[in-house]
Amino acid sequence: MHSHLIPGIDDGAKTLEKSLAYIREMQALGFQKIITTPHIMGDHYPNTAEVIMAGLQDIRDALAKENNLIEVSAGAEYYVDEFFVDLLDSNAPLLTLSDKKVLIEFSTFAPPSNAFEVIFQLLSMGYQPVLAHPERYVYYYDNFNFFQELVNKGCSFQVNTLSLIGHYGAVQKKIAYRLISDKLVTYLGTDLHNGGHAKLLLKSLRNKKLQSLLSNYEFQNHLL
């Protein structure tokens, strides 16, 4: 879960060929199902369900031509800002990971002022918020209990695999392991944007500490 494979609509795969190449690389690593999640971020990536679903269809058609049977679906990664609040207020249906699970992300620079309000609003609309890469929100590091509070309010957490090998930095890695040891994490995601990430995924799966984590911690990806 969590990747950027719809070609040309965010900072992920730029072309259909690249997208297919990343999918094949993930398959080679053992992935059997992919939920791709393009950014929906204000003016920056003003993607809509129509745009995302059309891109998904292109990917599915290309895979079918190759007789590639991997399952690919699409949700979105909603950036929590005023555009997202407007979207919620307009009652437009949101793209989901599965069932009613909605992937959201915060700024990596500054905490949102309305985290609890957004979670509450999503829950009251019948959605289940899943927060992408909480370990990247280092501004909560000195207020670690805030992570627990987000979970208590009904938010699930998705950690990035590459955070666990320090790809985003030492603090992010530390937070990721601590969130896991505190049993606050529900899902593990790739957040794959490019070929470099695909190579690092291979490296991370060879990492002994990560291997033992994967065999001991019960991530709930199979529920998606």
Interface with Fe ion (CB under 5 A): 77, 191
Q: How far apart are CA 166 and CA 203, in angstroms?
A: 12
Sequence-ordered list of residues with C-beta below 8 angstroms from that of 45, at least 6 positions apart, any chain? 9, 10, 11, 38, 39
What's the min distance (Å) between Cβ of 176 and Fe ion?
15
End-to-end CA distance of the chain, in Å? 8
Min CB(52)–Fe ion separation in Å: 13
Query: Residue 40 or residue 118: which is nearer to Fe ion going by CB?
Result: 40
Q: Which helix (H) or strand (E) holds 71?
A: strand 71-74
Q: In terms of CB distance, is 83 or 120 closer to Fe ion? A: 83
Handedness of CA 24, 28, 34, 37 (dihedral sign): negative
Residue closest to Fe ion when measured from CB atoms: 191
CB of 171 to Fe ion, least distance (A): 19
Residue whose CB is less far from Fe ion, 81 or 191: 191
- Kindly state the smallest distance separating residue 191's Cβ from Fe ion, in Å: 4
Of 135 and 191, CB closest to Fe ion: 191
Coil vs helix vs strand at 207: coil
